[in-house]
Amino acid sequence: MNLPEVLIHVSEMPNETEKNELVEQLRILDGVIAPRFSQEKEHLLFVSYNSDTINATALLDKVKENGFKAQLVGL
């Protein structure tokens, strides 16, 4: 099992409720291990995932489906 981590830059600053809802939406995806926002830079979202099950593009798509402008950032 390969467990990479992806960094997603969220352009708009989500409020606390939006951040929690987005993390929960990601957490329920098959293959997602640990989605979390950075405590220092709240617009950065880290997601650990099983790349055998899901890919970084699908994670970015889920963020965008929740109404956020976002892009992948290389790690």
pTM here is 0.91
CATH number at residue 53: 3.30.70.100
Q: Could you tell me the sign of the dihedral formed by the alpha carbons of 55, 61, 59, 70, in that order? A: positive
Which H/E stretch holds residue 23? helix 16-27
Q: How many domains does the chain have?
A: 1
- Residue-number span of the structural domain to which 67 is assigned: 5-73
pLDDT value at residue 75: 55
Task: In whole angstroms, give the CA distance from residue 12 to residue 72.
Answer: 14
pLDDT by residue (tens digit) across 31-73?
999 999 999 998 999 999 999 999 999 999 999 999 999 999 9
